[in-house]
C-alpha cells in the first residue's frame, strides 16, 4: 500500500492532522450501511441478551429454591428468544430460506455459529419454561433449564462478535469491550424483568444482579468509547448519542432504585420471625446463600404491595429501558459510522502512518 509522502521525515501523523487533511469521493460513504432494519436487529440484540441472562438467573433461582424467580426468568427467556428469532427471520430478504443458516457449519461466520447456538438454546429454554408452567416432566425441565443456563451467557454475548466481525467502524473497533457491554446490559435487563415479575421475598438476587449488570454496562460502555478515539463520536452525536446518554441515565437510576428497594425489603424481611429453613434440595446453593430463611409457603404469597415492591418494579422498568437504549444506541451508532467516510478513512490513515510494531 502506498503511504502519503507529505508528513516530512516520516513523522507519525496524529488523528487530528489526518482529519484535517481528510479527502473523500464527494463525501459519499465508502462502506454500505447495514441493510439490517433497526427494529429487527436492534431488537434482536436486546432480546437475545434478555433471554440468555434470564436463563442464568433461572438456574440460580432453581438451585437456591426460589421458584417464583425461576419461573419468571424462564418465561422471560422463552419470550425473549421467541421474539428474537422472529425478528431475525423477519429481517431476512428471503425468510423462507432461514434454514439455509444450518446447511453448513462455518466457524468463520459468527452468524452461522450463532444460528447453531440458538438452535440448541431455544428448545432448551422452551422446554424449561413449559415444563415449569405445566408441572409435567420436572426432571426433564430442570435438565433443560440447566442446559439453557450453560448456553444462555453465550447467547447474551455472541451478538457482540456478530456485529464486531464487520467493517462498520463503531462496531468493529469496539470488539474488545462490546461483549462486556452486552453482558452487563443482558444481566441488568434480565434482572430488571425478574424485579418486575417476582415477589419481593425472592428478588434479592435479582437486585444484586441488577446493580452488577448496570455497573458492568456503564463501565464497559465508557471504556469502549474512550478507546474508540474519533470513532466514539458516532456514539455521542445525534440519535445514537441521545440513546447512549438515555441508556446511561436509566441504568444509573435503575441501579440506585434497586439498591433502595433492597434497603426497604431487607428491613421488612429481617423484621420477620425466622421460622426455620425451608425445604432445600440436596446440593442446592441455598445452604450457602441463606443463613436465614422463610417458610416455603411464602412463595405462594403474591409480592408485598409495599414500597419495596413498587421500587423494584420501577427499578426493573428503568433497567430494561436502559438496556433497550444501549442496544439501539449501539445499532444506530454503527449505522452512523458507516455512513460517514471520515470514520472509515481517518482511523485507517492513522494505522498506515503508525510504523508496524
Partner 1 sequence: MTAPPAAGLPAVQEETGYPEHPPRMGFFTDTSLCIGCKACEVACKEWNRLPADAPFELTAMSFDNTGQLSGSTWRHVAFIEQRKPVRAPQAPGGRPSGDQGAGDLRWLMASDVCKHCTDAACLNVCPTGSLFRTEFGTVVVQEDVCNGCGYCVSACPYGVIDKREDDGRVFKCTLCYDRLGDGLVPACAKACPTESIQFGPVDELLERAEARLRSLHRDGVQDARLYGEDPEDGVRGNGAFFLLLDEPEVYGLPPAPMDPTRDLPSMWRHAAAAAAALVCGVAAAFLTARR
C-beta separation of 47 from 189 below 8 A: no
In the region spanning residues 232 to 251, those forming contacts with partner 1, defined by CB under 8 A, are none
Question: Rule CB under 8 A: is residue 12 a binding residue for partner 1?
Answer: no
Kindly tell me which residue out of 136, 176, 222, 263 binds partner 1, with binding defined by CB under 8 A.
Answer: 176
Q: Which of residues 202-231 bind partner 1 (CB under 8 A)?
A: 204-209, 212-213, 216
Question: Residue for cell digits 425451608?
Answer: 278
Q: In the set 13, 186, 264, 322, which binds partner 1 (CB under 8 A)?
A: 186
Residues binding partner 1: number (CB under 8 A): 96
Note whether 257 binds partner 1 by CB under 8 A.
Answer: no
Nearer to partner 1, 78 or 155 (CB): 155
What whole-number distance in Å separates Cα of residue 74 and Cα of residue 79?
9
Contacts of 77 (CB under 8 A, 6+ apart): 50, 51, 52, 54, 55, 58, 125, 128, 129, 148, 152
Biggest distance spanned by C-alpha atoms of the chain: 80
Q: Of 15-74, which residues contact partner 1 (CB under 8 A)?
A: 22-26, 28-32, 34-36, 52-53, 56-57, 60, 63-64
| Residue 338 touching partner 1 (CB under 8 A) | yes
Residues 80 to 139 in contact with partner 1, rule: CB under 8 A: 91-95, 97-98, 100-101, 103-104, 106, 108-112, 115
Please, which of residues 268-327 interact with partner 1 by CB under 8 A? Answer: 269-270, 285, 288-294
- Residue number, 122 or 163, with CB nearest to partner 1: 163
Please state the length of the chain.
357
DSSP 196-242: HHS-GGG-HHHHHHHHHHHHHHHHHHHHHHHHTGGGGHHHHSHHHHH
Residue nearer to partner 1 on the CB measure, 81 or 206: 206
CA distance 161 to 113: 10
Min separation Cβ 5 and partner 1, Å: 9
**Pick 214 or 243: Cβ nearer partner 1:** 214
Instruction: Write the Ramachandran bin of 135: left for phi over 0, alpha for psi from -120 to 50, otherwise beta.
Output: left
Look at the block and give the residue holding cell 503511504: 3
Least Cβ distance, residue 235 to partner 1 (angstroms):
17
User: How would you classify residue 9: left for phi > 0, otherwise alpha for psi between -120 and 50, otherwise beta?
Assistant: left
As measured in angstroms, the least distance from the Cβ of 101 to partner 1 is: 5
Rounded Cα gap, residues 57 and 73, in angstroms: 6
Alpha-carbon gap, residue 52 to 73, rounded angstroms: 10
- Min dist CB 134 to partner 1, Å, is 26
The residue (of 79 and 113) whose beta carbon lies closer to partner 1 is 113
Q: Which is nearer to partner 1, 82 or 166 (CB)?
A: 166
Of 106 and 136, which has the nearer Cβ to partner 1?
A: 106
Amino acid at each position: 500500500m502506498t503511504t502519503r509522502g507529505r508528513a516530512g521525515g516520516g513523522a507519525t501523523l496524529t488523528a487530528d492532522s489526518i482529519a484535517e487533511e481528510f479527502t473523500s469521493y464527494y463525501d459519499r460513504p465508502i462502506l454500505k450501511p447495514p441493510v439490517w432494519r433497526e427494529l429487527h436487529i436492534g431488537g434482536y440484540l436486546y432480546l437475545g441478551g434478555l433471554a440468555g441472562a434470564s436463563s442464568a438467573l433461572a438456574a440460580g433461582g432453581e438451585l437456591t429454591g426460589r421458584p417464583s424467580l425461576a419461573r419468571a426468568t424462564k418465561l422471560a427467556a422463552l419470550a425473549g428468544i421467541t421474539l428474537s428469532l422472529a425478528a431475525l427471520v423477519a429481517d431476512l430478504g428471503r425468510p423462507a430460506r432461514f434454514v439455509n443458516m444450518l446447511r453448513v457449519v462455518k466457524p468463520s461466520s459468527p452468524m452461522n455459529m450463532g444460528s447453531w447456538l440458538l438452535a440448541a438454546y431455544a428448545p432448551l429454554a422452551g422446554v424449561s419454561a413449559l415444563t415449569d408452567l405445566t408441572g409435567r416432566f420436572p426432571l426433564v425441565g430442570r435438565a433443560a433449564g440447566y442446559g439453557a443456563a450453560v448456553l444462555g451467557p453465550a447467547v447474551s454475548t455472541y451478538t457482540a462478535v456478530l456485529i464486531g466481525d464487520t467493517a462498520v467502524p463503531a462496531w468493529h473497533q469496539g470488539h474488545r469491550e462490546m461483549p462486556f457491554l452486552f453482558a452487563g446490559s443482558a444481566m441488568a435487563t434480565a434482572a430488571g424483568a425478574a424485579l418486575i415479575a417476582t415477589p419481593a421475598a425472592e428478588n434479592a438476587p435479582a437486585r444484586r444482579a441488577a446493580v452488577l449488570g448496570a455497573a458492568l454496562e456503564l463501565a464497559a460502555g465508557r471504556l469502549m468509547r474512550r478507546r474508540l478515539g474519533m470513532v466514539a463520536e458516532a456514539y455521542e452525536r445525534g440519535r445514537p448519542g441521545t440513546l447512549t446518554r438515555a441508556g446511561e441515565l436509566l441504568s444509573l437510576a435503575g441501579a440506585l432504585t434497586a439498591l433502595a428497594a433492597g434497603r426497604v425489603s431487607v428491613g421488612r424481611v429481617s423484621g420477620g420471625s425466622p421460622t426455620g429453613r425451608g425445604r432445600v434440595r440436596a446440593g442446592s446453593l441455598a445452604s450457602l446463600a441463606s443463613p436465614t430463611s422463610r417458610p416455603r409457603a411464602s412463595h405462594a404469597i403474591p409480592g408485598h404491595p409495599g414500597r419495596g415492591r413498587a421500587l423494584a418494579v420501577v427499578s426493573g422498568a428503568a433497567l430494561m429501558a436502559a438496556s433497550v437504549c444501549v442496544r439501539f444506541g449501539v445499532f444506530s451508532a454503527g449505522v452512523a459510522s458507516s455512513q460517514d467516510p471520515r470514520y472509515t478513512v481517518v482511523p485507517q490513515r492513522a494505522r498506515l502512518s503508525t510504523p508496524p510494531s
